[in-house]
Structure 1
Amino acid sequence: MTTLLITGAGGMLGANLVLDALAAGHRVIAVDYQHPVRRAGLESVTADLSRPGAAQEILAAHRPAWVIHCAAATNVDACETDPGTAFRLNRDMAGQVALAARAVGARMAHISTDAVFDGEQGEYTEDDEPRPINVYGESKLDGERVVLAEHPEALIVRTCIYGWNAQPKQSLAEWFLARLEAGQACPGFTDAWFSPILVNDLGDRLLQMLERRMQGVYHVAGGECISKYEFGVRLAEVFGLDPQLVLPESVDGGRLRATRGRRLCLQCQKVRRSLGQAPPGALAGLQHFAALRRQGRAESLRELCAVETYGGPK
């Protein structure tokens, strides 16, 4: 049994990781500030890790073998509006967690994003130079750098996730699904490409990477570069809904505050070679997403996070 500490345990990635790590037999310490989690057999800690000294106190008390740092400010437009909070959470807090992990001899995985790139080139490898074009990407790139400065053996995972979420917000897949099931038209960007991975598929790979003591920067994303429009169409088909309700639209018509990269697809050959495992394609990921719904994953997440209502815009 490995002791695993997960920060941001009430978020989409964190909460799914908690459930999957418990199912795999790990001892899990779940840390969150705004969305504490509760479950039999789970050690829950409510703490503001952005407070100086908080990470050191918690890790010294629990001494985990692994730390997966999911906590972050992830709303791209909110980061643009409030850069101070973005850098405090995405850079400064990450550095404090890395310092604390190194102090107790814990391996660390830090979750980053495809938004560290400008989206001009696409199909980015780990060797390509990051060039963020919004505050969110800048703060996450700074977070990567400070984590590696404080914990040189840390694992940095750049990704782009979707999945079931217990909190009153929706991943892109949930947003498409809710509108499609209501018979409502939903715009899908035809000029924004990405390589989405189901949060549970990412979690499985994260645990494998920690077990293998992998370190450095890795891209762990889906195996296809598709537009957000095509993603919505494929989701409709997987759930037996009307794909014609997904309407093609340009990013320029999206009324977004922060600039977004257009081609943010990630190449994952490095992790594929290391794990001997191909990244899941879009169809396989969406089929897994649908299977999790049938298995009651959304309800399990809401129970874990004690959330009474579900849904709402991202």
Structure 2
Amino acid sequence: MDDILVLGSEFTTGANLAAGLADQTRVSARPLVVPTHLSDEEQDAYSTTVAVEIARDVIAASGASQIIYCGAAAESCWARTELTSDDANTLRIWLRAAHDESVRLTFVSSDAVFTGPRLFHEENSPNRCTSREARLIVEMEDLVRRVLPESLIVRTHAYGWSPDGNGYVETLVDDLSRGRTEHLDAVRHATPILATDLADMIARAIEEELTGTLHLGGAERCSFADFARTLADVFQLPAPEITPGPTLTTRAAGFGAGETGLNSKRVRNLLNLALPMVDEGLVRLAGQRAEAASTEPVRELIAA
């Protein structure tokens, strides 16, 4: 497998994809921010040009022939990560650099471009979310297609441990431990997948040189409340008491607020994949925490 550069190591999805791919090939990982080392006045005039040059140098130094781009759009919509036009501008810089360096690119995107009433969305599903964030992600996908027509766009709903320890999974574990359940609604539905499981599947797609748009979610559709219940069971936390919300009479509005489940039939057929169930992914998530905890004393000893 070719060497890979994962961009977006500051995000949960990017950090976990890099970790998951490291067992299969040589992986470099770095944050998306491109340092220009310029004053404010210089940045106004030259920042884009200089940033592209720096991005090209980063790509060349990595020796990678494949980039996996994991920005804010790659984060679970349940995490409520902020999306702004700056994300599109940063993507534009890296796309120009990737084009100049003639490397292939996989753009990890979001299931939250969709909403109900459909429960599962195919790649060309017409049920698009009209929120500002969803429209911005669609614009970013279109930008990828224009600049790098042979790219791969993977829509997903990835979760995992965050690199800074303050992600939505960590917060959810803490809330369940403390009995904070008022935010666990049964309206938001998705097909979540552990980010390290996603890494294996993206690796397969890259090996097969797939292009275009693919949906890669988990095998099960579940609500945020269902996800929390299963997590509590796997982690042996108190079962959450969830109060049923009001019955919806209209379609849920807002980014990631409704039905974002993905139909991954196309990629299952192309790659002969078996997608993971929710509890299977959460068992592996718990195992990752146990493994990290077991190595912490070793790190402390080395640091001492």
Category of TM-score, reference length = shorter chain: 0.7 to 0.9
1:87 corresponds to which residue?
Answer: 85
**Structure 2 residue ranges without an equivalent (≥5):** 37-46, 300-304
- Contact 1:8–1:71 at 8 Å: present in 2 too? yes
Q: Sort the Cα spacing of 1:94 and 1:33 in 2 relative to 1 into closer, same or farther, 3 A.
A: closer
Output the CA distance in 1 between the equivalents of 2:209 and 2:12: 24
TM-superposed CA distance for 1:132, in Å, is 2.7
Post-superposition Cα deviations, 1:55-113, rounded to whole Å, max 9, x if no partner, equal 3343244442110001236574743xxxxxx1231x33323323322332322110100
2:278 to 254, 277, 282: 282
> Residue deviations 1:212-269, cap 9 Å, x none?
11111001111111111111111111122221444544699xxxx9554311111000
194-203 vs 235-244, which moves further: 235-244
**Whole-angstrom distance in 1 between the partners of 2:80 and 2:181:** 24
Does 2:18 correspond to 1:18? yes
* Contact 2:117 2:127 (8 Å CA) reproduced: no
Q: 1:104-143 maps to which residues of 2 (within 5 A)? A: 104-129=101-126, 131-143=128-140
The 10-residue stretch of structure 1 (176-185 or 154-163) with the greater mean CA deviation from structure 2: 176-185
Normalised by the length of structure 2, the TM-score is: 0.80
State how 1:229-240 maps to structure 2 within 5 Å.
229-240=225-236
Shift in alpha-carbon separation, 1:174–1:168, aligned structure 2, 3 A:
closer
For 1:176 and 1:251, the matched residues in 2 are separated by 24
Aligned to 1:28: 27
- Residue aligning to 2:149: 152
Q: Secondary structure at the match of 1:217?
A: strand
Larger proportion of strand:
1
Give, as a single letter, the amino acid of the residue that structure 1 aligns with 2:114: F
- Cα separation, 2, equivalents of 1:239 and 1:178: 11
TM-score scaled by length of structure 1: 0.78
Q: Which amino acid aligns with 1:263?
A: E
Per the TM alignment, residue 197 of structure 1 is displaced from its structure 2 partner at its CA by 0.6
Question: In the aligned structure 2, how far is the partner of 1:56 from the partner of 1:20?
Answer: 25
Identity fraction in percent: 26
Distance 1:239 1:247, change over 3 A: farther
Contact 2:118 2:127 (8 Å CA) reproduced: no
Q: Distance in 1 between matches of 2:247 and 2:160?
A: 22
**2:259 is paired with a residue of what secondary structure?**
coil
Change (3 A) 1:299 1:125: farther
Rg (Cα) greater in structure: 2
1:273 to 269, 272, 296: 269
CA RMSD of aligned residues (A): 2.9
How far is 1:30 from its partner? 1.9
Partner residue in 2 for 1:181 = 177
Unaligned runs of 5+ in 1: 35-45, 80-85, 304-314
Match of 2:221 in 1: 225
